[in-house]
Amino acid sequence: MTATDHSPKPARTRRLVSWQYARTFAIHGVLLLLMVAFLAPVVWAILSSFKQANGIIRAPLVFDPSSFTLDNYTSMFEDVPIVRGFSNTAVVLVFKGAITMFFAPLAAFAFAKYDFKGKNVIFGMVLVTLMLPTIVLIIPLLLEMKTLGWVNTYQGLILPGAVDAFAIFWMRQVIRAVPDDLLAAARIDGCSEFGIFWRVIVPVIRPGLAGLAVLTIMNIYNDFVWPVVVASSDDRATLQVVLSSLAQNITGNRIGADYATVTGELLAAASVALIPLLIFFILLQRHFINGILAGSVKG
Amino acid sequence: MRERRRQSRRTRWLTTISVLTVAALGLAACGSADSTSDSTATSDSTATSDSTATSDSTTTSLVAADSDRLQAPTEDSPEGEITIWDRSGDLYEVFDATIPKFNEKYPNIKVNHVAVDIDAKLQNTLITGADVPDGVFLDDAKIGGFSEFLWDLADVLAPYVDDIAAQKVDVNTINGGVFGVPFDLDPGLLYYNEAALSEAGVDAAQIETYDDLLDAAREYQAKNPESGPIHLEQSPFLGQLQLEMFASQLGTSMADSAGELRLDSPEYEQILTFLDTVQHEDLGTRAEYLGPTDIAELENGNQVFYPWAIWFSFAPQQLLTDTTGDWRAMELPAWEDGGARSGAMGGSSFVLPREGENSELAWLFYEFLMFNEAGYSAVWGPNDVYPTGLNTSIPSYLPAADPGAPLFQPVEALGGQDLWAVATEAGAQIPGGTPLPTWWAGAVDYLGNNIQRMLDGDLKPSDVVSLSTEEIQDNLVDRQ
Amino acid sequence: MARLRAAPYVFVAPFVAMFLAFSVYPMVFTVRLSFTSWRGAGDPVWIGWDNYSYLLTNDRFWGSLWNSAALWLLIVPVQLVVGVIVAVLLNSAKLRLRGMYRVAFIVPFVTPLVAVAQIWVVLFDQSYGAINSLFALVGLPEVGWLTTSTWAKPTLALLFLWKTTGFIVIILLSGLQSIKPVLYESASLDGASWSQQLRSITVPLIRPTIMFVVVLQTLAVFQMFAEPFVVTQGGPYSSTTTAGYFLYNQINRADLGTGAATSLLLVVAVMALSLMFVRMLRAEDGS
């Protein structure tokens, strides 16, 4: 199944072939350059994780493969509960991701295609959620968790913010573009409201949903401000919490003496954290997204 | 269609704004002089003990004594579990390794040792009382800010307090209560590149005052015109910390124990003038502590004098591979003849939150670490993490900080120098101090930045003082 | 459109439930707190509009807004242009290795900032950094990238661009993918060039997506906190103290009442800005 071509087509000229070659070459050139720019710092971090910790600070751009060592990794695995961090992140990803992926587009559908009393007020709630910086809400939210007994629990990690406001905001955007005639036709056919959502909207917005899936995963994965506060022990610490505890000797103001060793462990942890995510995305890329996109475009 | 959409969007924004405004106004209207309390830090004044054999004396002393003061357990073998928070890193490893030794003495106390991002978590945890640990490692600078959540340790520290370095006790003493178990004393030292200096014919051992230091720097520069012999700190935070080290030598600090600013003093003028002179005469290298420039200039002999806390020793040992072995440490120069030859720069203590479940057991842990020979030897002596011992600080407990009985070994990177002797002797000279004001970190925006501007050549020392005083007073002190 | 249909209410119910459960109390708490002085212990003390008057007359508060605005100017236009171009390039069907590029572009977004902060500091070091070395090679003077107020913002903007552009490309890409290829085909039959098609078909049709991205990134830039925190600590001379970092400092220093007031002012500022953009972008919508 070939991917459908969405790009602007070149005007047909006699020099079709060489023009197209040049164009492809140029496109790849630009993309490659960007790719290098995007990947270089990460490659640096991964390679550095194999260096002696002090060497990372002392000579950051010097890489001597013969002196590569796994020290940072061994000490990291010993000291840092990274496996636990992974499993906790996975749990949160699955549950919170599922909740958002299902309920956000649904809510967005309501905002995009219905008029109902209180719609503006409720959408205002969405906007305010988006705009209020999380950091201010930490203390009262933590108090709530304490009252509910949810400190350091999975519920505490998953439920607050489970139906992501950003997801609603974006999906509303996407769903608005769906022609109303499709819905009208479905209604005439006797489809239920939910049926309209499931059978008409969802297939049409597949590319948007695919994008949402990727972004939701990334946002949950990156989420740090709340988890670091609600997860008070290693049992429930997500990856970002684990990484942040390593990073504190490096960020902000360097005081004291052991930030070099911590840097080594941090780079090792970051590298380890990155790899599964990358593999996941590569797989997602190939089988999931491309498959979804192939089925999505109507002529 | 578009019109309607535009209108509905406008309505939406308006609705949101009006919702918020109404809420705000409504609350403002309801709000009155008697503030409604959302307060969450209910002080649980009694620490519950899980120990099985509760003796009468414990219970009565808990009730009779000031209920904010922690009392030590009196049973033979206290039992329970404690959660101890530390920063991750080598120090965490060191403390972790001491736990088995602690358990030799107290076999029934289980230590749950956690590496935590303390800066990110402690405040929220204390304010909301959610899963509060029993003991936390905390920078001295932060203790003032949390004192209301912490146990007053005056009673439990009483047997030891006279033997603890005055500055550390003072920095933990707020309104008459002592809120931390002092951990390390970080005396300021003058690190110098012996090899480079002797090659230039400069004898560092002759330096006794900061004027002498300036002369030595000039002499060095005469032989090495490209050099900037004295380190000038470029990070506003560390620059302020270093300033306070100099001030500590002179027995003063940014704020007195009542929290009143005292920057406008001859001491600060002297210190700032010294720094300004270094800048003015081009005798300094301006760089961020151990950043790329700093390391490079230390290695190539352009920067040969580093007045800094003892924890700079980490640099020649781990980072300065070219000049390792060339460096030495000595006491800081004095500000006037016969003055104190060291001041404190940084340092941490252990605090015990009142809402911890087993605070008095956590006290036993810290008591062991700091005041028991098995404990402090394990921390500073040779171990798996530091084969030659932890040499980036010294104990604040004076019997442990005996110049003649080193806990850590001579430092090879300092040419085999007995850093212990130098540091402990210097540490003994540190005058008493004051607790750091709660707004200390906030002052970096003003004082820290103004020092940097002075080092840029944009401000005079007197301006630094007057401007900082005004800004700190208006933005920090007055808003406490 | 039926007004009393139950369906929309059911559809938004989960969000509303979450909102009521986890957002209302914190928001009310915050609004209330903004009228008090509170350091975390004891009771908050009612001080009325004091926090607001302090902030609205405070250099540093306005400075942080200005910094965020300047960063916005450095980031958003560039990101949109680059983002659209990259998205369009990625979208060309004949492109092999498209998957590889896509993955490569999102890597920065999921890499912990602290892992790459070090290399940023090293590259941009004034005396020994690679960037200045390159400059020296071509005869340009050395620049105080992270040590001068002038250059710290662009340097930080670059870091933010590096980190988030991939994210934006994904959003733009899915916007692109809903454009029917038929439009391009008929345009090229009419003789339109690649760039003409870009301008008259692509950009107008993804205008809603672009609008969305602008609002999103406006939020992100104003709330930006990690980059200044890790790399510059808001300096030098508060030149990289964004509104988000300013807020963080207040919260972290237990100045909670002022922090609450700051965050509310921030919400107002961002809402005003977003409204302005939405209006602007809509006004351009052919009439």
Q: What is the pLDDT of residue A10?
A: 59
CB–CB contacts below 8 A, B to C: 114
Q: What is the pLDDT of residue C283?
A: 63
pLDDT in tens, C53-62: 999 999 999 9
Measure in Å the smallest separation between the Cα of A141 and chain C Cα atoms: 6
Weakest-pLDDT range from A21-30, A60-69, B401-410: A21-30
CA distance C153 to C156: 5
For residue C166, the enclosing domain spans: 60-286
pLDDT in tens, C36-89: 999 888 889 999 999 999 999 999 999 999 999 999 999 999 999 999 988 888
Contact A140, C25 (CB under 8 A): yes
- The confidence band for A283, taking pLDDT boundaries of 50, 70 and 90, is confident
Q: B149 to chain C: which residues are within 8 Å by CB?
A: 40-41
Is residue C86 situated within a structural domain?
Answer: yes
Question: Which of B2, B23, B479 is closest, CB to CB, to C28?
Answer: B23
Q: What is the pLDDT of residue C237?
A: 92
Tell me how many degrees the CA angle A51-A57-A58 measures, rounded to the nearest 5: 95
What does pTM read for this prediction? Answer: 0.87
Weakest-pLDDT range from A113-127, A189-203, C175-189: C175-189
Structure tokens at A283: 């797989």
Of the candidates A36, B448, A209, the residue with the CA atom closest to the CA atom of residue C234? B448
Q: What is the pLDDT of residue C191?
A: 81
Q: What is the pLDDT of residue A293?
A: 53
Of the candidates A115, B291, B352, A287, the residue with the CA atom closest to the CA atom of residue C8? A115
Taking the Cβ of residue B14 and every Cβ of chain C, the question of whether any pair is shorter than 8 Å is answered with: no
Is residue C163 situated within a structural domain?
Answer: yes
Q: What is the pLDDT of residue B90?
A: 84
Q: In total, how many domains does chain C have? A: 1
Residue C2 pLDDT exceeds 80: no
| Binned average pLDDT, 10 residues per bin, chain B of 480 residues | 47 50 42 34 35 38 59 88 90 92 94 89 90 94 91 95 95 92 96 96 95 96 95 95 96 91 96 97 94 93 96 91 95 95 94 95 96 95 92 94 94 95 96 91 94 96 96 91
Establish whether the linkage from the previous residue to B229 is cis, with ω within 30° of 0: no
Q: C37 to chain B: which residues are within 8 Å by CB?
A: 479
Q: What sign for the dihedral angle of Cα C222, C225, C226, C229?
A: positive
Establish whether the linkage from the previous residue to C236 is cis, with ω within 30° of 0: yes
Is residue C22 situated within a structural domain?
Answer: no
The one-letter amino acid code at C168 reads: I
Question: Which of A146, A257, A265 is closest, CB to CB, to B130?
Answer: A146
B236/C233 CB distance under 8 A: yes
Q: A270 to chain C: which residues are within 8 Å by CB?
A: 111-112, 114-115
* CATH at C227: 1.10.3720.10
A54/B319 CB distance under 8 A: yes
The SS3 call for residue B82 is strand
Q: How many CA atoms lie within 13 A of A287 on its CB side?
A: 6
Chain B interface disruption, residue of C32, C37, C58, C64, most B CBs within 10 A: C32
Chain C residue with minimum CA distance to B437: C253
Convert B264-283 to b/e letters by CB count within 10 Å (16 or more is b): eeebbebbbebbbbbbeeeb
Structure tokens at C75: 């980031």
B87/A80 CB distance under 8 A: no
Measure in Å the smallest separation between the Cα of A202 and chain C Cα atoms: 13
The one-letter amino acid code at B115 reads: A
Q: What is the pLDDT of residue B36?
A: 35
Element (H, E) at B132: none
